[in-house]
Structure 1
Amino acid sequence: MINFNVKNPLIEQRADPFIYKHSDGYYYFTASVPEYDRLELRRSESIQGLADAEAKTIWVKHDTGKMSANIWAPEIHYLDEKWYVYFAAARTSETKDGLFDHRMFVLENSSANPLEGDWVEKGQVKTKWESFALDATTFEHKGIRYYVWAQKDPDIVGNSNLYISEMENPWTLKGEQICITTPEYDWEKIGFLVNEGAAVLKRNRRIFISFSASATDFNYCMGLLMAAENSDLLDPTSWQKSSKPVFTTNEETGQYGPGHNSFTVSEDGSQDILVYHARNYKDIEGDPLYDPNRHTRVQAIEWNEDGTPNFGVPVPDTKPVLSNK
């Protein structure tokens, strides 16, 4: 076992966590804040150091319009020698439907250190439909940059499916958008029919995409897609989905609703790390989305003999993170 000198929760009241280790030796962290009103960024030379690192606000929601409410699930990426933050935002509205009418947006920063310089709005990432869309991520494979996101298809019953498309540049899609999973199993349809929160891990000659499913209470859980590295990633038949969830609530360890993850690596680069949020209690008063206690947590990923990731169970709070068991 490797001791990461990390204790969970790593950062309290930060949901949808994203940690990226850059070539400058720093880890960069961003996540949804409980107020859903801004984007924050912090950095540290260690994962544990992110807990006490200064959180700098890099962008604040608009007063009106499409980017004025429910700022969710930011991710930071370094592409073509510039920094990009992907996030979802809704519009201020008198109705609940309006507050959940999300679209996806991009910010750009050309500074070497993204905590400095100016963040420029590059606008909305346009997709096939003007419908509920969120939780974008991006990855490169064999010289092609891909975009993966969750969206509501007006012709499909449910809340969101996962789609993939090529990118013309970091804020523009090109070609057809392909659906790679819809909620079909019982564990994907508790409370809401949801596939969202995609995260990409390339290992063992395969592309793995984890995703989250069901309502954001203790039923929230993670599934897994996988495709062979030489397959056509824009062919939906290239993707196989786990028939059972791969990461779920664990009463024994006191972790509820784990999900909306990202991936990073240990300080020495030898170990893949799962980054996710979870609560340490089951019962929630009111709408789970407005309960602020989805805390950022991390733990090691182990690997099965067949080359697939083994996320284990969400480890208990306060104990040093040694493994995923």
Structure 2
Amino acid sequence: MAEYVVRNPLIEQRADPWIYRHTDGYYYFTASVPEYDRIELRRSRTIAGLSEAEGKTVWFKHDAGDMSANIWAPEIHYIEGKWYIYFAAAHTSETRDGLFDHRMFVLESDAENPLEGEWVEKGLVKTAWESFALDATTFEHKGIQYYVWAQKDPAIPGNSNLYISEMENPWTLRGKQVCISTPEYDWEKIGFLVNEGAAILKRNGRIFLSYSASATDFNYCMGLLTAGEDSDLLDPRSWHKSPSPVFVTSEENGQFGPGHNSFTVSEDGGLDLLVYHARSYKDIVGDPLYDPNRHTRVQVIHWREDGTPDFGVPRPDTRMESLA
């Protein structure tokens, strides 16, 4: 089981972590960097190896205008023979400060190794509203490519809701755009009314959609939506929300604000893994957004008899520990 022995945190100062295992046997990693100014990739044959793998900057923010500030939450996907990176970026100009003025953008590469190839800007992902939008993910189901993201609907109070749409191509939406979750429970509305950071896990005849809620301090936590694999994913009634958070701060283990997760699998494919960030302290000086110590962490997902995931509690910091 040596291949499953990893340290916690896996990678320091990398928030909103995304780990994708490709058919070439490599794990590809990207995340928000503390400077919010670029997109980095690293890869390794093992989860543990990502800790020491060299990061490669594949894209840098613009000097002004679109994509010029606060580069947040990149994800790398492989769709129909090409690589795509989805990310949020803000606009800076004399009239816009670029703090919470984000929109969603896409990069494309046809290289075999995405750390070495050229990345082409495919531009803005246009939605039904011209408003704050971020944290896009995408997944295929029954031959249809779907896009899930967080956005501020000007007609709905709060900061961000979750939406889903079909895709015409990897950078263009088509058809209706449906709201599938708004912050409604108290645990989703601490500090800010937030649903964001969606990730998809398909298992046991169901589609599980995790997301993060509330402010990015120790109140940050994860919620879960569930839909049947044969349901209409564009029908909000198909998605059922857990009334309680599924992954929260553990003061006992010294882990605070766990969230903005992704999913991957162990090297042999036998374990489902939860990838997330959390801090190792509760009290933050200044704005939590600019505290750099949201570290990437990984732990095993266990499965209940009813086929639903049990994320457990965030495990404590350790030098090395077996995931199994």
> Given the two structures, how large is their TM-score scaled by the length of structure 2?
0.98
Aligned-partner Cα distance in 1 for 2:117–2:70: 25
Does the residue aligned with 1:49 lie in a helix, a strand or coil? Answer: helix
Aligned-partner Cα distance in 1 for 2:130–2:173: 14
Matched, 1:316 2:316: yes
* Conservation of the 8 A alpha-carbon contact between 2:192 and 2:214: yes
What residue in structure 2 maps to residue 64 of structure 1?
64
What residue in structure 2 maps to residue 11 of structure 1?
11
What residue in structure 2 maps to residue 176 of structure 1?
176
The within-5 A match list for 1:1-325 is 4-93=4-93, 98-318=98-318, 320-322=320-322
Change in CA separation of 1:305 and 1:88 when aligned onto 2, cut-off 3 Å: same
Aligned-partner Cα distance in 2 for 1:318–1:57: 29
Aligned-partner Cα distance in 2 for 1:311–1:251: 16
Displacement of 1:97 = 5.8
Residue type of the partner of 1:256?
A: F
Aligned-partner Cα distance in 2 for 1:15–1:61: 18
Aligned-partner Cα distance in 1 for 2:97–2:204: 42
* Conservation of the 8 A alpha-carbon contact between 2:65 and 2:93: no
Residue type of the partner of 2:13?
A: Q
Aligned-partner Cα distance in 1 for 2:30–2:145: 22
Aligned-partner Cα distance in 1 for 2:105–2:185: 30
Does the residue aligned with 2:50 lie in a helix, a strand or coil? Answer: helix
Aligned-partner Cα distance in 1 for 2:208–2:129: 26
Displacement of 1:94 = 6.1
Does the residue aligned with 1:254 lie in a helix, a strand or coil? Answer: coil
* Conservation of the 8 A alpha-carbon contact between 1:66 and 1:92: yes
* Conservation of the 8 A alpha-carbon contact between 2:125 and 2:172: yes
* Conservation of the 8 A alpha-carbon contact between 1:93 and 1:99: no
- Extract unaligned runs of 5+ from structure 2: none
Change in CA separation of 1:2 and 1:189 when aligned onto 2, cut-off 3 Å: farther
Does the residue aligned with 1:99 lie in a helix, a strand or coil? Answer: coil
Displacement of 1:18 = 0.1
Does the residue aligned with 1:67 lie in a helix, a strand or coil? Answer: strand
- 1:157-183 CA distance string (max 9 Å, x none): 000000000000000000000000000
Displacement of 1:4 = 1.4
Residue type of the partner of 1:202?
A: K
Aligned-partner Cα distance in 1 for 2:97–2:151: 15
Aligned-partner Cα distance in 1 for 2:33–2:231: 38
Aligned-partner Cα distance in 1 for 2:320–2:176: 45
Displacement of 1:98 = 3.5
- 1:95-133 CA distance string (max 9 Å, x none): 886321000000000000001120000000000001000
Superposition CA RMSD, Å? 1.4
Aligned-partner Cα distance in 2 for 1:237–1:151: 20
* Conservation of the 8 A alpha-carbon contact between 1:146 and 1:167: yes
Displacement of 1:266 = 0.2
Does the residue aligned with 1:187 lie in a helix, a strand or coil? Answer: helix
* Conservation of the 8 A alpha-carbon contact between 1:19 and 1:275: yes
- Extract unaligned runs of 5+ from structure 1: none
- 1:59-105 CA distance string (max 9 Å, x none): 00000011000000000000010000000000125688632100000
Aligned-partner Cα distance in 2 for 1:94–1:8: 42
Aligned-partner Cα distance in 2 for 1:21–1:36: 24
Displacement of 1:134 = 0.2
Residue type of the partner of 2:151?
A: Q
- 1:186-221 CA distance string (max 9 Å, x none): 000000000000000000000000000000000000
* Conservation of the 8 A alpha-carbon contact between 1:108 and 1:122: yes
* Conservation of the 8 A alpha-carbon contact between 2:84 and 2:109: yes
Aligned-partner Cα distance in 2 for 1:9–1:269: 22
Aligned-partner Cα distance in 2 for 1:277–1:108: 26
Does the residue aligned with 1:289 lie in a helix, a strand or coil? Answer: helix
Aligned-partner Cα distance in 1 for 2:12–2:96: 27
Displacement of 1:27 = 0.2
Percent identity, aligned pairs only, is 78
